[in-house]
Structure 1
Amino acid sequence: MNGTTMLLTLLIKGMIIGLAASIPLGPIGVICVQRTINKGKISGFLSGLGAATADTLFAAIAGFSLSFIISFLEERQTIIELIGGVIVVLLGLKIFATNPISQLKRNKRKKSNLLEDFMSVLLLTGSNPLAVFFFIALFATAGVISHDQSIWVNLIALAGVFLGGALWWYILTSTVNYFRRHFRLKQLWWINKISGAVIFTLGGLAILNVIHKVFF
């Protein structure tokens, strides 16, 4: 296998790993869908890019075996998970209480804060330290990152992880945006309520899981 073929193979493997990490529709997916419907494709896609960026950072920690960071996350895993659960619950309540009609009117008068959309999902995805161990398992299975390879070769695999995640969020938000024009205001109201309830429930389950691990 020549150098170009090897790099292309690593890039594709990284993209597959990025897709595998992004496709499961947890609270992040629901948030991206809700923002796409209420605020537009760019808002939803940039929110997804926040998740892809956080996943890539976790993949870098896993791939380069930054043991001191992994130890830090392991030691504080419970509190990080608890904070993440609380944030998800609060976000669910906020979405549930939001009136999509007034939100649409505000978005017409001023541009959505796209940086806030990106950063909020980046931080929310970053509150799940277990993702590091998920990437460790995926890298070990796929044989993507090796300490025998140069750092630049490993960076190609990490670029693939980001591109795979970005591709998924582009497909998802583009699909949702395509059907967005068919939604009526009453349907938007219900979508907000259902999205908020789902996100709140997922956050509540995360908190209960932490309580169960600590006390039982």
Structure 2
Amino acid sequence: MMSVPVATFLAGVGVGLTVAVPIGPMGVLCIQKTLAFGLLSGVATGMAAATVHVTYGILAGFGYSPTVTTHISAGASVLSLACAAIMFWFAVRTFRRKIVFGRADAGKPLCLLQSYRDALVCGFTNPFTIILFFAAFPALTSADQRLELPFLTFGIFAGAAGWFFILSAAVAVFRARLPEHRLMLANKAASCIFAVLGCLMIADALGLRRN
């Protein structure tokens, strides 16, 4: 019979994977950072995503899900516009930035810190990630006691971080097999995806995608 801490940890892994696996702004950002700067930058992006998920996990574990969801839903339009602005910022910056290919500064702390920062900003301003997280949390967990919260949050972190590490590693393998000019094209494509995501965020904020 599975012990309660193990079951709670696995439930946390399930929550982390449920929110992390769907490819959205954070997934695109992880792919772009790996294409542009290499594996470590993609992993740093994934660690930031896992940090965002753990933060929400702690809030949900202490019973703040209804309050947070209500506030997020009420301010979803504003957050969507803020996230759209960030997507356009990523799009312009990605389009103008050159690929770091075979250079030592790709793994420097400043580069990794910038990747981590960008992903934190993206994660904390995306209302759909927040709503998805709080929707998945009660459905996949049975942890009602705060004593189980450390196992739950560690599971969330492991699930999210594990997925983004796999994603970064896969993209890094792809990156190593492509010549530099094709990597540049892939980076430009990521820039276009950021712009499209920004447009979709604006459409959601204005209610254009609602039936």
Letter in 2 for 1:99: K
In structure 1, what is the equivalent of residue 4 of structure 2?
6
TM-score norm. by structure 1 comes to 0.86
Structure with bigger gyration radius:
1
Contact 2:18-2:136 within 8 A present in 1 as well:
no
Deviation of residue 187 (structure 1)? 0.5
Runs of 4 or more consecutive aligned structure 1 residues displaced over 6 Å after TM superposition: none
Contact 1:59-1:132 within 8 A present in 2 as well:
no
Deviations 1:48-103 (A, max 9, x none): 11111112212222232225544443432221221011101121122122232xx4
In structure 2, what is the equivalent of residue 181 of structure 1?
176
In structure 1, what is the equivalent of residue 87 of structure 2?
88
Mapping 1:39-54, distance limit 5 Å? 39-54=37-52
For structure 2, the 5+ residue unaligned runs are none
TM-score norm. by structure 2 comes to 0.87
Provide the C-alpha distance between the structure 1 equivalents of 2:136 and 2:29, rounded to a whole number of angstroms.
25
Mapping 1:196-211, distance limit 5 Å? 196-211=191-206
Structure 1 vs Structure 2: percent identity of aligned residues? Answer: 25
The 1:18–1:57 alpha-carbon spacing in structure 2 relative to 1, beyond 3 Å, is same
Deviations 1:83-141 (A, max 9, x none): 011101121122122232xx437x43573521121121011111023434323332322
Mapping 1:136-215, distance limit 5 Å? 136-146=134-144, 149=145, 151-212=146-207
Provide the C-alpha distance between the structure 2 equivalents of 1:113 and 1:155, rounded to a whole number of angstroms.
30
For structure 1, the 5+ residue unaligned runs are none
Q: RMSD of aligned C-alpha atoms?
A: 2.4
Which residue, out of 104, 124, 143, partners 2:101? 104
Provide the C-alpha distance between the structure 1 equivalents of 2:159 and 2:194, rounded to a whole number of angstroms.
24
